Structure 1
Amino acid sequence: MAIVLGFGLAGIQGAAAQSAPQGNIVIPPDVTIFGEANPNVRKATAVVNGDVITGTDVDQRMALILAANDNKLSSEDMERLRLQVLRNLIDETLEIQEAEAAEIKVPEAEINQSYARVAAQNFGQDTAAMDAYLKRIGSSPASLKRQIEGEMAWQRLLQRNVAPFINVADEEVNEVISRLQASKGTDEYRIGEIYLAAPAEAEQQVAENARRIVEQLREGGSFVAYARQYSQASTAAVGGDLGWIKLEQLPTELAVAARDLTPGQLVGPIAVPGGFSILYLIDKRQVLMADPRDAVLALKQISISFPKGTTEAQAQARAKSFAQAMGQARGCGTVDEVASKIGAQVVTNDQVRARDLPGPLQNAVLNLNVGESSPPFGSIDDGVRVLMLCGRDDAQSPSGPNFDQLMAQMEEDRINKRAQIYLRDLRRDAVIDYN
């Protein structure tokens, strides 16, 4: 068992000079430390323009990512993750420093409000539960609040130093609106992006990191969480979400890669000027056309349960007789009577959005006519259910973004591009010492 002794500067100086008695303790002049270092000792991992980033800072930020992946990372992946997190913390420090140099300081009250919103989304407005969770996984409230401060400070700096110099002419917006009208019925995409900058000297290493991120995402990692931690685009603050776009708005390399994706698919890393991108297709729709999945449905759910100990064969037979009985129901007006005869339960909901149904059920239900039932679905543990369509209000065709919305989107895109250049310049001019 390692024993850690703490003593003042005078004791250290005396011990360095000669073997000196300290009560019953004798400290030799040449000391060799055996065993692991005390994990509670905070050592500088990097010093960025005089501001220290410690190993503890890196560990606590890593813990957020590891928790999102159930800590299922190899030692090799852990080392790559550590290097990437350190780079992110360096960028975050540079952003905060630049904001402070511009006399932009995010008030602590606003950081706490944003932290409370995160807690509300995850723990029902309980910041105490959020604090406890972060400490339990090896992170801390201070680490997450620091990330929030960095995002807020950088956005405010961009609004002051970049946004005023971005100009989108009315003619440009009108041209895009004309193109949208002309492209009615064609596809548009809602895409998430993780962008990793790759200086020439680190290109191979960044490419390998990007491949590891893709592997971890395909194993179930949260794209939004990874985008917030890894992406060096300004969209990192919103989980990498680019919003609804036409492929023509993307660089050619990304447009080609995204064209054949279906919602939920991932592609990358893709080499782009200055780095690598990972794309995730969140959703897809047709320009200025109503999306059937936005229909609001009136449904009745009819369900039966199985007694404990029911075998697979018994369940199949019971499900078959249940489906046959439901086939005798003639519309929603008779389904309650039929259900009562077979001991089934009926639940009614008149405000179900089709897109909120599980993927396989969406198509099944959207293809029903009023009064028809879906195929049976379920399991031995959950029982068997069918959905009967009792009504449907289809969504209206959207008119598309208006002039002001489109101008704001184009301005934001140009701010993002300038932000990448801005951060690159800050890295180039920084004085960074590594431990």
Structure 2
Amino acid sequence: MEDGTNVPVATAPPPPVGTDSEGNLNLPSNPQFFGKMDPNHRHATAIVNGEIITGTDIDQRYALFANANAGKLTPEEQTRLRAQVLRNLIDETLEIQEAKSADITVESDEVDQRFAYVAQQNMGKDPAALETYLGTIGSSGASLKRQIRGEIAWQHLLRKNVQPFINVSDAEVREMLDRMKADKGTQEFHLGEIYLAATDETKPAILANATKIVEQLRKGGSFVAYARQYSQASTAAVGGDLGWIRLGQLPGPIAAAASGMGPGQLAGPIEVPGGYSIIYVIDKRQVMTADPRDAILSLKQISISFVKGTPERDAAARASTFATMVKDIHGCGQVDAAAAKIGASVVANDQINARDLPVALQDTILKLAVGEATPPFGSVEDGVRVLLLCGRDDPKVDNGPSFDQLQTQLEDDRVNKRAQTYLRDLRRDAVIEYN
């Protein structure tokens, strides 16, 4: 056109400040902050899509977790834990809200049944006693029940919106079964896992947090409690329990760490795709092979005790007489008469699972022939005792999981991966106001 009108040329809009042309974050290595900021400040409460999380909610959930650590948390760890508790409550709220929007209702009876199970399995208490106990530590039954409600709601939601779209073909399961048969005799691990998601930007902070968790676990912190509060995997609801897994089913870094570990050992933080994992070996066994520790034993315990203040020399002399007496016992039929001669007590148990014995005793007991006894063990304070093997029922060969069991295991693994993405999407779309 020649009329002098300036026609604008269409150009692509510039990328937002702080991003490159591909939308990736382009952050300065030495940022200068404008305004005052306290890096130790933690928001006390939040409103999640219009639903309030109160300071009491945070206090009671914090008390529930802090108690599991027997007061071993430093001030810095307490601050970090309160921030984590708030994040957990936000996620829990998002999960409950999403379940409600999907017309999923969690009945009170279902929550009460899970609460009763937790009371019995974890604390050996009935529900009423657990309610009272929670009040004494600054928490409440309502706080724990809300956590349980969130877990149940999320499980129901995954069954409705995720599980139907997970497909594990028969061919995949058969291939896995064939691989297991080929791996017969190799090791299988019963693992617990705490998974912390991380992006490239959050990796340093998440790694530091994971390292602190490992430190607390090594000091005696409850793995199950930490998994329930911190883990971002769906197994958090069961204390991080992954069940029995072969190394080939695990991500390479976790498999490499677990291969040299034994029951009761901890490893991490381990960098895995999408974040960091902390793993705990609950137990290990050989694939499709009978585990001697599953043997059912018939034992007689013969023990002597010492009067408080007994001199070491006198105790040693009596212990020597006791050891000689045990050597002369030939079979469990002679135990009661021999014990009576030196004032020893006898306790019999015909249904002891070898794996339930202290680890230090398992190997010794399993090497005994019927009628043989362990060497004497104990102390002046606790008394001296021996265990006599009276019978042993060896376990049957484990034929491994069935087709259906393995298919369920593979489906659960895929549901877990989808669940992590689902929750990330809920966080991204949420409207959260901090107070």
Shorter-chain TM band: 0.7 to 0.9
Aligned to 1:47: 47
1:214 lines up with 2:214 in the alignment: yes
SS of the residue corresponding to residue 159 of structure 1 reads helix
Aligned to 1:432: 432
1:134 lines up with 2:129 in the alignment: no
Aligned to 1:161: 161
**Given that residues 44 and 52 in structure 1 are in contact (C-alpha distance below 8 angstroms), is that contact kept between their aligned partners in structure 2?**
no
Q: 1:118-164, CA deviations, whole angstroms, 9 ceiling, x for partnerless residues?
A: 22335655322111111111111111011000000000000000000
How far off its partner does 1:388 sit?
Answer: 0.6
1:329 lines up with 2:329 in the alignment: yes
- The amino acid that maps onto 1:107 is E
Alignment of 1:244-393 (within 5 A): 244-393=244-393
- The amino acid that maps onto 2:276 is F
How far off its partner does 1:201 sit?
Answer: 3.4
How far off its partner does 1:56 sit?
Answer: 1.9
Length-normalised TM-score, structure 2:
0.88
**Given that residues 117 and 125 in structure 1 are in contact (C-alpha distance below 8 angstroms), is that contact kept between their aligned partners in structure 2?**
no
Q: 1:47-84, CA deviations, whole angstroms, 9 ceiling, x for partnerless residues?
A: 11111112221111111111111111110111111111
Query: How many pairs does the alignment contain?
Result: 393
Q: How far apart, CA to CA, are the structure 2 residues paired with 1:412 and 1:206?
A: 26
How far off its partner does 1:283 sit?
Answer: 0.6
Q: Classify 1:124/1:270 alpha carbon distance in 2 versus 1 (closer, same or farther; 3 Å).
A: closer
Q: How far apart, CA to CA, are the structure 2 residues paired with 1:411 and 1:170?
A: 12
Q: How far apart, CA to CA, are the structure 2 residues paired with 1:122 and 1:83?
A: 25
**Given that residues 319 and 384 in structure 1 are in contact (C-alpha distance below 8 angstroms), is that contact kept between their aligned partners in structure 2?**
yes
Q: 1:293-322, CA deviations, whole angstroms, 9 ceiling, x for partnerless residues?
A: 000111111111111211333323322221
Aligned to 1:238: 238
Q: 1:13-43, CA deviations, whole angstroms, 9 ceiling, x for partnerless residues?
A: xxxxxxxxxxxxxxxxxxxxxxxxxxxxxx9
Aligned to 2:416: 416
**Given that residues 371 and 389 in structure 1 are in contact (C-alpha distance below 8 angstroms), is that contact kept between their aligned partners in structure 2?**
yes
Aligned to 2:149: 149
- The amino acid that maps onto 1:217 is L
Q: Classify 1:431/1:312 alpha carbon distance in 2 versus 1 (closer, same or farther; 3 Å).
A: farther
Q: Classify 1:46/1:313 alpha carbon distance in 2 versus 1 (closer, same or farther; 3 Å).
A: farther
- The amino acid that maps onto 2:119 is A
SS of the residue corresponding to residue 254 of structure 1 reads helix
Q: How far apart, CA to CA, are the structure 2 residues paired with 1:311 and 1:226?
A: 46
Q: 1:162-221, CA deviations, whole angstroms, 9 ceiling, x for partnerless residues?
A: 000011110110111111111110111111000111234332222111111111111111
Aligned to 1:96: 96
**Which aligned segments of 4 or more residues in structure 1 are displaced greater than 4 angstroms?**
122-125
Q: How far apart, CA to CA, are the structure 1 residues paired with 2:295 and 2:162?
A: 41
Q: How far apart, CA to CA, are the structure 1 residues paired with 2:133 and 2:282?
A: 28
Q: How far apart, CA to CA, are the structure 2 residues paired with 1:298 and 1:108?
A: 44
Q: How far apart, CA to CA, are the structure 2 residues paired with 1:205 and 1:300?
A: 54
Q: How far apart, CA to CA, are the structure 2 residues paired with 1:313 and 1:47?
A: 70
Quote the RMSD (CA, aligned, Å): 1.4
SS of the residue corresponding to residue 389 of structure 1 reads strand
Q: How far apart, CA to CA, are the structure 2 residues paired with 1:206 and 1:64?
A: 23
SS of the residue corresponding to residue 245 of structure 1 reads strand
How far off its partner does 1:334 sit?
Answer: 1.8
**Given that residues 297 and 350 in structure 1 are in contact (C-alpha distance below 8 angstroms), is that contact kept between their aligned partners in structure 2?**
yes
- The amino acid that maps onto 2:263 is P
Aligned to 1:176: 176
SS of the residue corresponding to residue 372 of structure 2 reads coil
- The amino acid that maps onto 1:69 is N
**Given that residues 264 and 282 in structure 1 are in contact (C-alpha distance below 8 angstroms), is that contact kept between their aligned partners in structure 2?**
yes
SS of the residue corresponding to residue 202 of structure 2 reads helix
Q: How far apart, CA to CA, are the structure 1 residues paired with 2:65 and 2:158?
A: 27
SS of the residue corresponding to residue 277 of structure 1 reads strand
SS of the residue corresponding to residue 201 of structure 2 reads helix
Aligned to 2:201: 201
Q: How far apart, CA to CA, are the structure 2 residues paired with 1:98 and 1:276?
A: 27
SS of the residue corresponding to residue 288 of structure 1 reads coil
How far off its partner does 1:391 sit?
Answer: 1.1
Q: How far apart, CA to CA, are the structure 2 residues paired with 1:402 and 1:273?
A: 30
Aligned to 1:115: 115
Unaligned runs of 5+ in 2: 1-42
Unaligned runs of 5+ in 1: 1-42
Q: How far apart, CA to CA, are the structure 1 residues paired with 2:198 and 2:45?
A: 21
Q: How far apart, CA to CA, are the structure 2 residues paired with 1:250 and 1:122?
A: 28
Length-normalised TM-score, structure 1:
0.88
